[in-house]
Amino acid sequence: MSGPPPASRPPSRLRLGEFEVFPDSHELSGPAGVQRIRPLIMAVLLRLAAEPGQVVTRERLLADVWPRRMVNDEVLSRAIAELRTALGDDARQARYIETLPKAGYRLVVAVEPMGEAALAAVPVAGEARRDRPTAPHRSHPVLVGVAVLAVLALLAAGLAALRLEPEPGAELAGRLAAAQPLTADLSLELSPRFSPDGTRAAFVVAEGDESRIAIQSLEGGPRRLIGEAGAVRQSPVFFPDGRRIAFWLAQGGDCAVVEYDLDSGAKRDIVGCGAQPRSRFDLSPDGKRLAVTATHREQFPPGIAIVDVASGELRHLTKPEPGEGDDLHPRFSPDGQRIAFFRGTASHRRAWIVKADDPASAKPASALEGLTYGSAWLGPDGPLLVAADWLGFRALTLLDLGTGRARLLGARGARFPDVSPGGDVVYENAVFQANLWLADAKDESAAPQALWPSTRYTSQPEFSPDGTRLAFGSNRDGLEALYVGVLGTPGDPAKLPLPADHRFIRPHWSADGKHLYAVRIPVGALKNAVQHAVRVSVPDGKVAVLDHLGAAVNAVRPSPDGKWRYVGEISGNAVRISRARAGTTDTPERLPLPVVGEFQLTAERLVFTQPNLAGATSCSLPELTCERIDVALDDGTRFDWLLAGRSLWFPVRAPGGRQLARYDLAEGRLAERRAFAPTANGLAIAVSPDGRRLVLAREDAPSIDLMIARAARR
């Protein structure tokens, strides 16, 4: 804090019982101590206090608190959750803010103005808090006192008169809300990058298994296409002269990052397939170096390598250890001194920064982790414009490299952004949807049936122990939440009424079918990346936090007999397996097993995969006598399988697309393959307890166009 405000302008103050909120300093103090609150959270509270006891609709709150900005309901839900956390409120037993489903919110405490004498008797912001007596607990409604003149001025002039300091990225967020399509073809447009002068964009036009490079002026005109059919081209990047580009090329079983002259059409390889370069890379601002993900050692995750463009000489910069995950999507800073990248696996990736000439400097830029989709620098020292689902859903966020905090900017569905020298922003607008399909496990000729389709992403299905219900995760109503549907009956699935300040993933039924075990992840940049195991009652959604199982839980699976809880504890980007007796608060005991990628269990066995190793391992229970299984599972499919009975189910590549394979563990052989297979990410297979029905999560064809947010021209 910078000290008290000038005496000539005393701070307006809201007193909420044992809490005090200081708008000028954005600080809230109470028995729990002092914490900072964001100006927008203050604005939400003031808007509710303007009509105490009255329902303020979600639409009205969005219009008043976020004027001239197109934001969705999820932003408001997170703001209310953050405000409740600051006040120590509970959505289920509201003492301050009541939620009225499908209507809005209501401040349920009384509001009384304070006269000048009463205001003068209250200490001003900045006074020593050790001299303040702790207010006694009140069981009656808490009085919200507001200085009369301050409140009249604030409410009469509207919330715009709060004179709040602009939040970092507010101007960019406004531009993103007004972004316009750059392309809207039926084909997929991917990986946009600006030319050095910001007048053109290079991107990929993909159809089926082929793609070409497009060069297009931002002011319109004809599009130039590069490359013939029969190849895959990705990630075009301009050289500083604007006359050459580099892109990743795969053709006829070979691959390379190539340099292409736009005038002559001449092409040469910069780095070939021997280094196993991944398709997304970057050029240094001077065009002399290339940063690419490449393999540095067999059975180790690939890291970032620096390639000399002229000679092709390759130098490994980062070398992640087994279990840490891959290093992906490198981006040079505007001065070429540092490289941003993402380290991790699947849904657990963090942003990292490394100096381009100092391997030892690599370090995480934030504690936030999740699914990530590229970044762009907004200056030599940042911040980073990151496409990730860190704050609840895939969107563009602003990552402060000094504090590691991120703030949601908007552009839901955004991936792989780029920023021009003039401040324009271009990105992929990708719409993916996945739905559940019910299939006959015994009769492949029977037509599959769609279950509760939506336009969002649904996966992680699991049958209840009696086979009559299906639990799954979906973001169909906003953040990832848990749903339960009853098979064979009409009507929509029931969304469990869970707190909006967390995402809930990986549901698994209890042995009695009365609860779901799951993992909850906080939503919001102001929280640590803590993942707790929870037990959720069905159908009322009451949450019991199993914090004795740890604060870095990747999965919690009850044993079929209900006696044990098996816990996956995050270790880097791998998992260590522990177990604890159900019904106790005992600290879990670590099982004598290596770190794993994913694990599943039945009454008789526990099966797991390992990072950077192909196949799986099956261990008998309770003896933990283990043996290797030669199945087509690796890091790319570490979550894409299911243990059910004595079978492993998993997708395999086949001509014409994926197939679903079943491996018989008792017989030690591949027992069957079927054409109808899961195509969604992650846990996408469920088998009924009697083995007669399959539920598979399948993606529909995506829609990916390019959007551009133009900067104001001076």
Residue 5 has pLDDT above 50, yes or no: no
Cα gap 334→355, rounded to integer Å: 13
**Nearest Cα residue to 481 out of 415, 380, 393, 388:** 393
Structure confidence at residue 6 as a pLDDT band (50, 70, 90): very low
Architecture of domain 14-165: Orthogonal Bundle (1.10)
| pLDDT per residue as tens digits for the range 620-646 | 999 999 999 999 988 778 888 999 999
Cα gap 382→340, rounded to integer Å: 10
So what's the pLDDT on residue 229? 81
So what's the pLDDT on residue 264? 95
Cα dist. 21→44, 154, 433 in Å? 13, 15, 42
Cα gap 477→494, rounded to integer Å: 11
Count CB-CB contacts under 10 A for residue 97: 21
> Do residues 639 and 623 lie in contact, with contact meaning Cβ atoms separated by under 8 Å?
no
- Intra-chain end-to-end CA distance of the chain, in Å: 36
So what's the pLDDT on residue 638? 81
So what's the pLDDT on residue 138? 36
Pair of tokens at residue 545: 């936090």
* Overall average pLDDT of the 553-570 stretch: 95
What DSSP letter does each residue of 536-604 carry, written as one string? Answer: EETTT--EEE-GGG-SBEEEEEE-TTSSEEEEEEEETTEEEEEEEETTS-PPPEEPS---BSEEEE-SS
Structure confidence at residue 86 as a pLDDT band (50, 70, 90): confident
| pLDDT per residue as tens digits for the range 24-39 | 334 444 444 445 567 7
Residue 533 has pLDDT above 80, yes or no: yes
Per-residue DSSP letter, 457: B
When mean pLDDT is compared across 29-33, 98-102, 422-426, 583-587, the lowest value belongs to 29-33
CATH 3.40.50.150 fits 171-431, yes or no: no
| pLDDT per residue as tens digits for the range 120-145 | 443 333 333 333 333 333 333 333 33
* Overall average pLDDT of the 454-472 stretch: 95
Cα gap 612→591, rounded to integer Å: 21
* Overall average pLDDT of the 225-237 stretch: 92
| pLDDT per residue as tens digits for the range 668-693 | 999 999 999 999 988 899 999 999 99
Residue 703 has pLDDT above 80, yes or no: yes
| Percent of the chain that is helix, strand, coil (3-state, to 5) | 10, 45, 45
Burial 330-350 (b: 16+ CB within 10 A, else e): bbbbeebebbbbbbbbbbbbb
Which residues, 6+ apart, have CB-to-CB distance to 592 below 8 Å? Answer: 624
Cα gap 680→660, rounded to integer Å: 13
| pLDDT per residue as tens digits for the range 472-510 | 999 888 778 999 999 988 888 999 999 888 889 999 999
So what's the pLDDT on residue 655? 81
When mean pLDDT is compared across 5-14, 302-311, 607-616, the lowest value belongs to 5-14
SS3 (DSSP) at 100 = strand
Pair of tokens at residue 68: 């001239």
Between these two residues, 59 and 306, which has the higher pLDDT value? 306
CATH 2.120.10.30-classified regions of the chain:
171-431
Asked, as a colleague might, if the bond just before 302 is cis with ω within 30 of 0, I would say: no
Which residues, 6+ apart, have CB-to-CB distance to 650 below 8 Å? Answer: 631, 632, 633, 637, 640, 641, 642, 660, 661, 663, 685
Cα dist. 9→12, 148, 154, 573 in Å? 9, 15, 15, 52
Count CB-CB contacts under 10 A for residue 62: 18
β-pairing, 626-629 with 494-495? Answer: unpaired
| pLDDT per residue as tens digits for the range 285-343 | 999 999 999 998 887 899 999 999 999 999 999 999 887 889 999 999 999 999 999 99
Q: Please say whether the dihedral angle defined by the alpha carbons of residues 451, 455, 460 and 464, taken in this order, is positive or negative.
A: negative
> Do residues 80 and 500 lie in contact, with contact meaning Cβ atoms separated by under 8 Å?
yes
- pTM equals 0.71
Structure confidence at residue 21 as a pLDDT band (50, 70, 90): very low
Q: 97 pairs with which residues across the strands?
A: 107
CATH 1.10.10.10-classified regions of the chain:
14-165
Pair of tokens at residue 617: 């391992």
Q: Identify the CATH number of the domain defined by range 434-699.
A: 2.130.10.10
**Average predicted confidence (pLDDT) for the chain:** 84
So what's the pLDDT on residue 182? 93
Structure confidence at residue 9 as a pLDDT band (50, 70, 90): very low
| pLDDT per residue as tens digits for the range 252-293 | 888 999 999 999 999 999 999 988 899 999 999 999 999 999
Between these two residues, 1 and 47, which has the higher pLDDT value? 47
So what's the pLDDT on residue 164? 43
So what's the pLDDT on residue 677? 94
Residue 14 has pLDDT above 70, yes or no: no
CATH 2.130.10.10-classified regions of the chain:
434-699
| pLDDT per residue as tens digits for the range 408-431 | 898 989 999 999 999 999 999 998
